């Protein structure tokens, strides 16, 4: 095997590049792992579209990622987009501009496809998964999937991305009592629409959960407890961004996601009847690389 693959994810918080190879035993080795924070989820929630300035930022970022992937030895790249681009009324024009200017076709994947890629990635560090609930929160949405081994039984996309929540609840840092009440109401309503929970272990993946993990557990312990999330939501709501950055050793852009992200996952644990969740190191991009190796995706030649 030992072939090098590249996958670029146009997410709702970040645009992320992964260049990796798979060894003879199917283990994934990262060669390049780079991201640019564009906040498309918050922008699209506010405006309904991706403004031209942000489209050009996206083109510039993907051109750099294309060149980086080629320099790292990848022969092809799979580029896909998720919730923020799905919701943008001008997504067809934006993706056409990317193709015209830098020759990359972008696969606008469905929420179900997003869950399938996430599960493929999660299974890399979940060798005996059994039945569990997988959750991935980004800037635009939260994917919740009931999984049985390598199969997704059902999945749903909830409007609970951190960028979406920041815009809809008009969250400031520090957060006012009215803003906190509003964001909790939005989260409660989304889970009420989801219905009764499943009493199964929870595995989280994606940038928001990894941000919470790194903020709470700089030692690398991957189990996050319900009460830790409750405390983080309480603490982050009352702090300004510079204080969050210092206290939790996170980047400026990530700091504003800790409060809504902690609330969302705290609610998820209540819904699932669990006191803790594990956080996977892997997710949709790693799943995309695995599917590239299996010939299941149409990638662009470099």
In a domain? residue 81: yes
Same domain, 295 and 182: no
Burial per residue of 205-215, b for 16 or more beta-carbon CB atoms within 10 angstroms, e otherwise: bbbbbbbbbbb
pLDDT of residue 1: 57
Is residue 117, in this structure, part of any structural domain at all?
no
Q: Same domain, yes or no, for 28 and 47? A: yes
Q: Are residues 86 and 139 in the same domain?
A: no
Of 66-70, 123-127, 286-290, which range is least confident? 123-127
| 93 shares a domain with 17 | yes
In a domain, 119, yes or no: no
Residues 172 and 175: their CA atoms lie apart, in Å, by 5
Same domain, 253 and 274: yes
Phi then psi for residue 236, to 5 deg, are: -65, -30
Does residue 190 share a domain with residue 269? Answer: yes
Q: What ranges in the chain are assigned the alpha helix state H?
A: 40-47, 52-71, 83-87, 91-102, 111-122, 162-168, 177-194, 207-216, 226-237, 241-248, 252-255, 258-272, 284-293
- Tokens 């997704």 belong to residue: 152
Grouping H, G, I as helix, E, B as strand and the rest as coil, residue 184 is helix
DSSP 12: S
CATH, residue 226: 3.30.420.150
Pairing assessment for the beta strands 276-279 and 223-225 based on DSSP bridges: antiparallel
Confidence at residue 2, expressed as pLDDT on a 0 to 100 scale: 72
Burial 103-117 (b: 16+ CB within 10 A, else e): ebebbebebebbbbb
Residue 116 lies in a domain: no
Is the same domain home to 59 and 94? yes
Please check whether residues 33 and 106 belong to one and the same domain: yes
The tens digit of pLDDT for each residue in 232-283 reads 999 999 999 999 999 999 999 999 999 999 999 999 999 999 999 999 999 9
In a shared domain, residues 171 and 267: yes
Residue 66 falls inside a structural domain: yes
Closest by CA position to 211, among listed 236, 190, 189? 236
Mean pLDDT of the chain: 95
CA distance 16 to 9: 5
Residue 8 included in any domain: yes
Residue 69 lies in a domain: yes
Q: 42-85, pLDDT tens digit by residue?
A: 999 999 999 999 999 999 999 999 999 999 999 999 999 999 99
What is the spatial distance between Cα 117 and Cα 249, in angstroms, rounded to a whole number? 29
Q: pLDDT, tens digit, for every residue of 27-37?
A: 899 999 999 99
Q: Which residues pair with 223 in a beta bridge?
A: 278
Rounded distance between C-alpha atoms, residue 244 and residue 116, angstroms: 33
CA–CA distance, 98 with 105 (Å, rounded to integer): 7
pLDDT cut 70: percent of the chain above it: 100
Same domain, 104 and 57: yes
Count of domains forming the chain: 2
User: Is there a single domain that holds both residue 178 and residue 272?
Assistant: yes
The position carrying tokens 């790292």 is 72
pLDDT for 197 equals 85
Can you give the pTM of this predicted structure?
Answer: 0.94
3-state secondary structure of 176: coil
Parent domain of 156: 127-279
Same domain, 99 and 132: no
> Do 166 and 208 touch, CB atoms closer than 8 A?
no
Average pLDDT of span 140-152? 95
């Amino acid at each position: 095997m030992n072939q090098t693959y590249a996958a670029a994810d146009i997410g709702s918080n970040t645009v992320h590049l992964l260049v990796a190879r798979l060894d003879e035993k199917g283990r994934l080795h990262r060669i390049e792992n780079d991201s640019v924070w564009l906040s498309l989820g918050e922008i699209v929630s506010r405006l309904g579209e991706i403004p031209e300035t942000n489209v050009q930022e996206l083109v510039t970022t993907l051109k750099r990622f294309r060149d980086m992937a080629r320099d790292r030895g990848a022969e092809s790249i799979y580029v896909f987009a998720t919730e923020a681009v799905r919701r943008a009324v001008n997504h067809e024009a934006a993706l056409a501009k990317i193709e015209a200017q830098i020759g990359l076709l972008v696969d606008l994947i469905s929420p179900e496809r997003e869950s399938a890629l996430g599960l493929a990635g999660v299974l890399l560090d979940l060798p005996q998964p059994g039945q569990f609930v997988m959750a991935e929160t980004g800037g635009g949405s939260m994917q919740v999937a009931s999984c049985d081994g390598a199969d997704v039984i059902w999945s749903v996309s909830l409007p609970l991305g951190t960028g979406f929540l920041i815009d809809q609840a008009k969250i400031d840092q520090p957060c006012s009592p009215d803003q906190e009440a509003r964001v909790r109401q939005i989260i409660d309503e989304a889970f009420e629409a989801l219905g009764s929970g499943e009493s199964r272990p929870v595995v989280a993946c994606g940038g928001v959960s990894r941000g919470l993990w790194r903020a709470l557990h700089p030692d690398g312990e991957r189990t996050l407890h319900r009460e830790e999330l409750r405390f983080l939501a309480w603490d982050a709501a009352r702090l300004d961004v510079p204080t969050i950055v210092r206290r939790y050793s996170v980047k400026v852009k990530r700091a504003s996601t800790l409060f809504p992200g902690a609330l969302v996952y705290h609610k998820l644990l209540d819904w699932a009847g669990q006191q803790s969740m594990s956080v996977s190191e892997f997710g949709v991009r790693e799943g995309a690389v695995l599917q590239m190796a299996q010939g299941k995706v149409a990638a662009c030649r470099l």
